[in-house]
Structure 1
Amino acid sequence: MSNARRHGPDEHPTEVAELAAGRVEYRFDRRGPATVMVFYGGHLRAGLSLGEEVFTETGCSVLVPSRPGYGRTPVPTGGTAGGFADVTAALCAHLGITQVAAVVGVSGGGPTAVAMAARHPALVRRLILQSAVGPLPWPDRRTRLGAQIVFAPHTERVSWTLVHSLVRYAPDVGLRMLLRDLTLLPVRDVVAGLRPEDQERLLALFSRMRSGRGFTRDLKELATTGDLAGDAGRVSQPALVIATRQDAAVRFVHARALATALPHAELLESRADSHLVWFGQDWPLISERIHAFLAEGPPRTS
């Protein structure tokens, strides 16, 4: 059973599937026969999109579930990254998807993508990780303490209302404030280096973000990495790990750890100025590598 819901003009329509393991919100952008599955990180839900053009421009369909606590997916659905990977596999069966060309993990969605590849190798052909949390504790203590206050379930609505007002009425200030914790470079230089159209895209994205109960759940789950390390070692599919050394949100050491832990991984270093690799000047080259990665022959087996 599923029901549809159309969001505001700046969001994509989503649906909710009532599965045996729980309720899950998702968006299924049906295009071609190949499907790419995307697990977004903190503050993003199925109704929002970031960098999906790299997949849709090749004709791929895109399936985006809201992870537990985000959008209309309740916190108990799946419980852990591995548990939600199993829920998403059930969602694929529900939708008639028998193979996924690639599972993509973005930032805090990385552990779920790794678990998906490890636990469902017959379903998933390839793994792509973008600025993803690896098998290391995350985040640092200062960030954790601040986030537990600002993005707690009883305060996140107020916090995001203030952010949304700021990006609407003082966009330059809003961009600097929101990018400050995503880059190791001077934030004024990072904002100045963005094209006007990319600034508009970021402002539109920031104006629609919410944390729900998902981000505090992420903070708790990602503080320990034992499951992720174990899952990474069991991934038999080819993996592409994309990250930048200028990322302050998920440090480059996470990408190195993932590339080491995954048996068949390629580490692709972005030259982006921040966590948001899609806005780096070299993103067209990275997109070409992603296209080639998806088009490569059958993955090696172990």
Structure 2
Amino acid sequence: MSMKQVVKTTNGPIEYRLTGKGESMILILNGGHCSNCTFPIPFETFLTNHGYQLMIPSRPGYGNTPSSTGRTAEQFADMLIEVLDVLDISSVTVLAISAGGRTALQLAGRHPDRVEKLILQGALTHDDWPDKKIKLLSYLLFNPVVEKGLWHFFRFLIQKYPLGALKIMMKSFTTQPVEQVIRQMSDEQQMEAISFLRLLQSGSGFLNDIRHRSGDLSRIQAPALIIHSKNDGSNPVTHAEYAAKHIPHAELFLSDAESHLIWFSDHHKIIKEKVVQFLKT
């Protein structure tokens, strides 16, 4: 059973969702365009079935967490500590996906006593992204005025031509030939990916994401598991390599998953096993 709640912090409200009944807490920081706390996490049931309670916040600009709560990764990391204080939670494991990575790195670096373990999945880590071209396109396409119409059109496209829409989006998710990637997905994986993409929304959150910085990774004391697809077309594998080099106690696991969407791949089984092994040690 999931419960959606709001905590008032110094900077403003943070919306979050709790699910699962385990004693150990995992704080999940989801990626760009999908950081509304109600957005389904593909491996959510897997983690709760293994006895973990999950806290999933709406990052600033997504859901009912306003951008003013934390436009920078540092600000939001500090406000998340206030949420943990209100809930009387001494420490958590942090699992961050894609654009959620920089907040996770700031959280682990600025508050090492509150982060037990750190897991990064396809996460942004170094500050070379985005370049000027991507930043300009992001401001044009994902500003709050335009993004609603853009995603509305994409959902129309999914409804009319679901496989075609998946192929269009997959071009930005993989370094492999798109047709090859689609063929390797089962029908079920294709439908799960389409359902996932149907829910994407940027709000004002993505424009915050592209301005985030990761901070000094050498401050991080928690053991870290860095998972990344070798074929990630969204966030190059250099992000994983950078984190593995600069986080003192890091383990790098490069997956053969066909794209950034590692959950919709046969290789995800190995990834899940790796995550559980890391959590249990």
TM-score bracket for the superposition, by shorter chain length: over 0.9
Q: Establish whether residue 240 from structure 1 lines up as the match of residue 225 from structure 2.
A: yes
Count residues in correspondence.
278
Q: Aligned runs of 1:124-139 on 2, under 5 Å? A: 124-139=115-130
**What's the CA shift string for 1:173-226, capped at 9, x where partnerless?**
11011111011111122122112112121111211111000111212x14xx4x
Distance 2:205 2:46 in 1: 26
Question: What is the TM-score of this pair, normalised by structure 1?
Answer: 0.88
Quick one: distance in 1 between partners of 2:136 and 2:182? 26
Aligned residue number for residue 158 of structure 1 = 149
Q: Which moved more, 1:142-151 or 1:26-35?
A: 142-151
Residue 279 in structure 1 maps to residue 270 in structure 2: no
2:234–2:260 Cα contact (<8 Å) kept:
yes
Q: Aligned-residue CA RMSD in angstroms?
A: 1.5
Q: Which one-letter code corresponds to 1:197 in the other structure?
A: E
Change (3 A) 1:30 1:54: closer
- 1:196 corresponds in structure 2 to 187
CA distance in 2, matches of 1:243, 1:22: 33
Separation in 2, partners of 1:39, 1:189? 30
Residue 96 of structure 1 and its aligned partner are, at CA, apart by 2.6
Are 1:107 and 2:92 counterparts?
A: no
SS of the residue corresponding to residue 172 of structure 2 reads helix
Correspondence for 1:36: 26
Moved more, 208-217 or 280-289: 280-289
Q: Could you say what secondary structure the match of 1:35 adopts?
A: strand
Q: What amino acid is the match of 2:202?
A: S
Partners of 1:215 and 1:79 lie apart in 2 by: 10
- Give the structure 1 partner of residue 87 of structure 2: 95
CA distance in 2, matches of 1:209, 1:25: 18
Residue aligned with 1:72, SS? coil
Most deviating of 22-31 and 89-98: 89-98
Distance in 1 (alpha carbons) for counterparts of 2:59 and 2:233: 23
State the distance in 2 between where 1:263 and 1:199 align: 38
> 3-state SS of the aligned residue for 1:37?
strand
How far is 1:18 from its partner?
2.0
Shift of the alpha carbon at 1:249?
0.6
Alignment of 1:36-115 (within 5 A): 36-44=26-34, 45-48=36-39, 49-100=41-92, 102-115=93-106
Unmatched 5+ stretches in structure 2? none
Percent sequence identity over aligned pairs: 34
**Contact kept? 2:96, 2:120, Cα under 8 Å:** yes
From the superposition, tell whether residues 282 and 216 of structure 1 become closer, same or farther in structure 2 (CA, over 3 Å).
same
8 Å CA contact 1:54–1:291 kept in 2: the answer is: no
2:147–2:202 contact (8 Å) kept in structure 1: yes
Whole-Å separation in 2 of the counterparts to 1:40 and 1:186: 26
Corresponding letter in the other structure for 2:85: A
